[in-house]
Structure 1
Amino acid sequence: MPFASGTGADIYYESHGQGTPIVLSAGMGGSGLFWTPQLTALAANHTVILYDHVGTGRSSRCERTITGMADDIVAVMDHAGLDAAHIVGHAIGGIVGLELASHHPQRLRSLVVVNGWGRADPFLRRCFEIRKQILNQSGPKAYVRAQPLFLYPPSWISENIVQLEAEEEKILAHFPPIATMNQRIDMFLDFDVGKRSAAIRVPTLLASAKDDALVPAYLTHELAKVIPGARVHEVAWGAHAYTVVTPDVFNRTLLEFCAEVDR
């Protein structure tokens, strides 16, 4: 699979399917593999781009600003020959999408932010401070083992524990340096979309889960108040990674929204 460059780093990405393009940006882990539950459904009628954030996965291991991460998406799109695309971001991937919409609006057909935020509140800060403590005091293995507690509903964890434990070693094999993870967490907690939100004019869908225990759904509603015309789609169950827990629900919502924009 190809690498995009031009931003001082090599960015690993994959292209699947054919049709109106959709670029998927992952959350804190940064790996395009996060979107595996979406790939088959979306690639049936779209060109789907998955990529690894710089500093994570198979991309160059160096630090980035949020603006730099938005520029990385532009570099991937340029390398893939895409003028504009539906940009879909989960959590911090959604923040990068907001930054992209502020700086390069012509490159977006639409923006979808999944369980994201425009400004971190005290609850979100405490959650990430705890995750940083686990990482810094107990190491990556403990961090990865604790991660499902922040991402998935308790019953889903119990029912899928064998799968989750099998995935731990794969995640650890590509785990970013601890310093990079600390920098990423601090950067995204400091993000504040502020007045730039009023300038976002692309069709915007803000998706959230009511039972998200990491990024509460009220942060999505707060973001919707400051983006003109933003639409909120909220599911009752699935927690922070409901794209994995109930992929059919998310895939249907995303495809319907993209089809509406494309019409």
Structure 2
Amino acid sequence: MHLEIQGLTDKDAPTLVLSSGLGGVAGFWQPQLAALTPHYRVVTYDQRGTGRSAATLPDGYSMAMMAAELADALEQRGIEYYDIIGHALGGLIGLQLALDFPSRVGRVVVINGWLSLDAHTQRCFQVRQDLLMNVGVEAFVRAQPLFLYPAEWLARNQARIAAEDAHHVAHFQGMENLLRRLHALKSADFRAQAARIAQPVLAICSQDDLLVPWSCSPQLAQALPNGSLIEMAWGGHAMSVTDADNFNALLLRWLADTATPAQRAAS
């Protein structure tokens, strides 16, 4: 698994692991690095079967497997305790890590995630899957920004989106890998296990998210013993990209407010 470590170099520095959504690649977090690396050791990675972590994913691929792969990769680098910040699928990986490796996970941030799959999100995923299987990779990639970004932001960033489209087509993770990752994502359901997640968890959402109804985040926060909620008014599903300054400020404030004395001293 391709993994990069930036920011503070002390092995005892507070560590943030950033986990991307369905795209799976570390580059999604570029808008956060300048804000986080002065205060934390920051780990980004390409999820198995995506980007520079080339692999053919097995049948029955699951959220538990995604979490175990990440835990193993971090342990191989000597990283045994960390907070995890995840976007959508990445946030669910964080919840799974908190369940399966509770002694390793301090805090979890879930960005536009959910407790269980909403019917609207299921419809959106089905539309995207139909495009992939019946039209092709280019159509799938061209449609993706419509689910990620607000319309006015897209209108102002056409050149950037065109460049991203070309990059995503050229580096597409493969139909079978994507479908197996998508199946794992849609199958994840934390309703029966949420009460076991004792770590502080922040559910942060954007109220104009087209893909995941913002109401999924309060449902998640309320189901957790130590959940909290932040709602942003604008930014779409990828508000960490479209409204990065606001998102980064809110994230840093929550991390500071929930830090242990040791984390405050180390950062």
The residue number in structure 1 matching 2:265 is none
* Separation in 1, partners of 2:227, 2:256: 17
The residue number in structure 2 matching 1:176 is 173
The residue number in structure 2 matching 1:136 is 133
Amino acid at match of 2:50: T
* Separation in 1, partners of 2:232, 2:248: 13
Most deviating of 183-192 and 125-134: 183-192
1:26 aligns with 2:20: yes
In structure 1, which of residues 87, 93, 96 is the aligned counterpart of residue 90 of structure 2? Answer: 93
* Separation in 2, partners of 1:189, 1:85: 26
Q: How does 1:92-171 map to 2 (within 5 A)?
A: 92-171=89-168
Deviations 1:166-193 (A, max 9, x none): 1212222221111111121122112111
Deviations 1:144-179 (A, max 9, x none): 111110000000000001111012122222211111
* TM-score of the aligned structures, taking structure 2 as reference length: 0.92
Secondary structure at the residue paired with 1:15? Answer: strand
- What is the Cα deviation at residue 17 of structure 1? 0.6
* TM superposition outliers: structure 1 runs of 4+ over 3 Å: none
* Separation in 2, partners of 1:76, 1:249: 31
Secondary structure at the residue paired with 2:258? Answer: helix
* Separation in 1, partners of 2:117, 2:62: 17
Alignment gaps of 5+ in structure 1: 1-10
* Separation in 2, partners of 1:110, 1:102: 12
* Separation in 1, partners of 2:90, 2:154: 23
Contact 2:118-2:212 at 8 Å conserved across structures: no
Amino acid at match of 2:113: G
The residue number in structure 2 matching 1:8 is none
In structure 2, which of residues 236, 239, 242 is the aligned counterpart of residue 239 of structure 1? Answer: 236
In structure 2, which of residues 26, 29, 32 is the aligned counterpart of residue 35 of structure 1? Answer: 29
* Separation in 2, partners of 1:121, 1:40: 34
1:229 aligns with 2:226: yes
- What is the Cα deviation at residue 61 of structure 1? 1.7
Alignment gaps of 5+ in structure 2: 261-267
The residue number in structure 1 matching 2:79 is 82
Work out the percentage of aligned pairs sharing the same amino acid. 38
* Separation in 1, partners of 2:185, 2:243: 26
The residue number in structure 1 matching 2:264 is none
* Separation in 2, partners of 1:67, 1:47: 25
In structure 1, which of residues 48, 59, 62 is the aligned counterpart of residue 53 of structure 2? Answer: 59
- What is the Cα deviation at residue 209 of structure 1? 0.3
Deviations 1:183-220 (A, max 9, x none): 21122112111221001000110000000010111111
* Separation in 1, partners of 2:113, 2:4: 24
Contact 1:58-1:174 at 8 Å conserved across structures: no
* Separation in 2, partners of 1:17, 1:79: 19
Secondary structure at the residue paired with 1:106? Answer: coil
Amino acid at match of 1:13: L
- What is the Cα deviation at residue 60 of structure 1? 2.8
Contact 2:201-2:221 at 8 Å conserved across structures: no
* TM-score of the aligned structures, taking structure 1 as reference length: 0.93
